[in-house]
Structure 1
Amino acid sequence: MALWFAFLRGINLGKRQMKMDELKACLEGAGLGSVKTVLASGNVGFEAEGDADAIRSQLESLIEKQFGFAVGVVLRSEAELQAMLAGHPFGRLDSAADVTRHVLMFDRPLPQGLSLPDRPGHTEILRMDAREIYIAGYRQPDGRYTEGVEGVLKPLYDRLDKNALDTMRNWNTMEKMLK
C-alpha cells in the first residue's frame, strides 16, 4: 500500500461541518490503512492501493455519502509531499520577518507561461511549480497576513478552467503531515 495525503476543500465552514474522528472512521471503514488526520481543516494521510484518480474519486464518494455534501479533494503522494518539503520553497525568506507561509495546491497543472505579479512586503509569490504556488503573506498594520492574496491570484483564476480545484494550506500544516 502506498502513502497518500488528501487535502479537503472548504470543510468546517458554515454548514459544511466534519469532525476529524468521523472522517478517520469513515476512511478506515472503507479499508484505507494508517489513517491520520492533522488539525480540523481536512488534512488526512492514509495508505491505499490504486492510482491518484481512483483514490480521489473514492474519497469524494465516501465523504459525500458519509457527510451529506460534496467535497473536493486535492491529493498528493508521499513522494510528491516529500519533494514539496525538500524543495524549501520558503528558504529565501528573512527568518526574522513577521510572515505567514502558505501553499496553494491544485488538482491539475497550472497554465503554461503564467506570471503573477506579487506585492513585495505584502503578498509575495515565492515559487510556482506545476501544481503548487508558494505564497508569503507579511503582517500588515491591521494584524492580518493574507488579506491581499485574492488580488495577487486574480490573474490566475481568470485563466483557470471553472472546474479546477484548489485548496490552500499553511506551510506549518504541510510540515506536520509526514510526522
Structure 2
Amino acid sequence: MSVWGAFLRGINLGKRQMKMAELKACLEADGFAEVKTILASGNVRLAADGTPDAIKARLEKAIAAQFGFEVGVVLRSEEELETMLREHPFGTLDPDADLTRHVILFDKPLPRDISLESRPGDTEILRVDPREVYFAGYRQANGRYTEHVEEVLKPLYAKLGKGNLDTMRNWNTIEKILK
C-alpha cells in the first residue's frame, strides 16, 4: 500500500462540521489503512492502493456518504510530500521575521504563464510550482498574517476560472503530515 496525504477543502466552517475521530472511523470503515488525522482542519495521512484519481474519488464518496455534504480532496503521494518537504523555498526567509509560511495545494496543474506579484512586507510569493504556490504572510498591524493573500492571488484565480479545487495549509501542517 502507498502512503498519501489527503487535504480536505472547506470543512469545519458553518454547517460543514466533522470531528476528526469520526473522519478517521469513516475512512477506516471504507478500507483505508494507517489513517491518521492531523489537526482539526481536514488533513489525513493514510495508506491505500490505486491511482490518485481512484483514491480521491473513493475518499470524496465515503466522506459525502458519512457526513451528508460533498468535500473536495486534494491528494499528494508520499513521494510528492517528501519532495515538497525537501525542496521548499522557505529557507530564504529571515528567521527572525514575524511571518507564517503557507502552501496552496491545487488539484490540477496551474497555467505555466502565471505571474504573481508579491507585496513586500505583506504577502511574499516565494515560488509557483506546477500544483503548489508557496508564500509567506507577514504580520500586519491588525495582527493578521494572510490579510491580503486573496488580492495577490487574484490574477491566478481569474485565469483558472470556476471549478478550480485548491486548499491552503500552514507549512507546519505539511511538516506533520508524514509523521
TM-score (normalizing by structure 2)? 0.99
**Residue of structure 2 in register with 1:36 after alignment:** 36
Following superposition, the deviation at residue 26 of structure 1 comes to 0.5
Instruction: Please give the per-residue CA displacement for 1:15-72, whole angstroms capped at 9, x wherever unaligned.
Output: 0000000000000001110000000000001000000000000000000000000000
**Residue of structure 2 in register with 1:163 after alignment:** 163
Following superposition, the deviation at residue 166 of structure 1 comes to 0.2
Runs of at least 4 residues off by over 3 Å: none
Following superposition, the deviation at residue 142 of structure 1 comes to 1.2
Residue-pair matches, total: 179
Aligned-partner residue type, residue 175 of structure 1: E
Distance in 1, matches of 2:140 and 2:23, equals: 36
**Residue of structure 2 in register with 1:71 after alignment:** 71
Instruction: Please give the per-residue CA displacement for 1:96-135, whole angstroms capped at 9, x wherever unaligned.
Output: 0000000000000001111001101100100010000001
After superposition, where does 1:1-179 map in structure 2 within 5 Å? 1-179=1-179
Aligned partner of residue 85 in structure 1, secondary structure: helix
Following superposition, the deviation at residue 82 of structure 1 comes to 0.4
Distance in 1, matches of 2:161 and 2:6, equals: 22
Aligned-partner residue type, residue 62 of structure 1: A
Cα RMSD for the two superposed structures = 0.6
Distance in 2, matches of 1:35 and 1:161, equals: 33
Following superposition, the deviation at residue 94 of structure 1 comes to 0.2
Distance in 2, matches of 1:98 and 1:134, equals: 17
Aligned partner of residue 91 in structure 1, secondary structure: helix
Aligned partner of residue 74 in structure 2, secondary structure: strand
Following superposition, the deviation at residue 164 of structure 1 comes to 1.4
Aligned-partner residue type, residue 18 of structure 1: M
Distance in 2, matches of 1:122 and 1:95, equals: 16
Following superposition, the deviation at residue 163 of structure 1 comes to 1.3
Structure 2 segments unaligned to the other structure (5+ residues): none
Distance in 2, matches of 1:3 and 1:144, equals: 34
Distance in 2, matches of 1:119 and 1:18, equals: 35
Percent identical among aligned pairs is 68
